[in-house]
Amino acid sequence: MAVVVEEVKLIGSPSSLFTCRPRVALNLKGVEYDFLQEKWWKKSDQLLESNPVYKKIPVLIHNNKPICESMIIVEYIDETWTSIGPSILPSDSYDRAMAKFWTAYSDDKFPALLRNLTGPVPGDIPEATEQFIASLQLLEAAFEKCSKGKRFFGGDEIGYLDIALGSHFGWIGATEKLADVRLLEKEKVPHLVEWYERYFAHPAVKDVMPTTDELLAFVTEVKSNFTAPAN
């Protein structure tokens, strides 16, 4: 019987926390892949051909077939490589629905909340901080329900919601420094702080998640390119 050699490529950027989502999923499954790095200011022909609709990273290319949007890619990885690594989506239909609900919540809320604290024209910092912490407290309650007393939102192992939230929580350290605020405090969200520390120390995560200093350097690079005079 001929052995089928799978070709797996991921188009993305090391500084993109949405790119980290499929990278973590691939690591959890133990799937080898080629990482094709994009520059945020110059989109490659391969990216434009692979994602002609949104023209955004990340894009997974599996045997020459592109899959776009970070959490759709995560779900595809889980459904494609079922025989290796842990299951990423919960097997129970209710638990799966809750994981997708809180993922939708975090994708809806956190980018705007972070922009309010660090955008080019920051709003009311105390109010924005209060809103951010209120969202964290909702997730604190969600963790207690979803984790069922275990280590991660997904249970004993990292799951779908852990991967989704991790991409937003990666910005917390950089946001705290940029806005000079405290967001993730053990006195207010103790379970979430413990989850955060476990998640970012996990072998599937720690080597692909950009550090706070790397994200701050990325912000500086973005600002310098926006303000640089055109040639």
Strand partners, 67: 60
Write the CA distances from 154 to 5, 60, 91, 163, integer angstroms. 31, 23, 10, 9
Fold of 8-80: Glutaredoxin (3.40.30)
Question: Which parts of 119-189 fold into alpha helices (H)?
Answer: 125-147, 160-169, 172-179
Give the residue range(s) of CATH 3.40.30.10 domains in the chain. 8-80
Kindly report, residue by residue over 39-65, the tens digit of the pLDDT.
877 899 999 999 999 999 999 999 999
Question: What proportion of the chain, given as a percentage, has pLDDT over 90?
Answer: 80
Q: What CATH number labels 93-216?
A: 1.20.1050.10
pTM, to two decimals:
0.92
Give the residue range(s) of CATH 1.20.1050.10 domains in the chain. 93-216
Instruction: Return d(Cα 142, Cα 212) in angstroms, integer.
Output: 26
Share the mean pLDDT of the chain. 91
pLDDT value of residue 121 = 58
Query: Confidence class of residue 31 from pLDDT cuts 50, 70 and 90?
Result: very high
For residue 64, how many C-alpha atoms fall within 13 Å in the half-sphere facing its CB?
A: 1
pLDDT value of residue 224 = 73
Instruction: Return d(Cα 194, Cα 105) in angstroms, integer.
Output: 21
The strand pair at 8-12 and 65-68 is best described as: unpaired
| Identity of the residue numbered 68 | C
DSSP SS3 for 181: coil
pLDDT value of residue 42 = 84
Kindly report, residue by residue over 69-125, the tens digit of the pLDDT.
999 999 999 999 999 999 999 999 999 999 999 999 999 999 888 888 876 555 678
Please answer whether residues 162 and 109 qualify as being in contact, where contact means their C-beta atoms are separated by less than 8 angstroms.
no
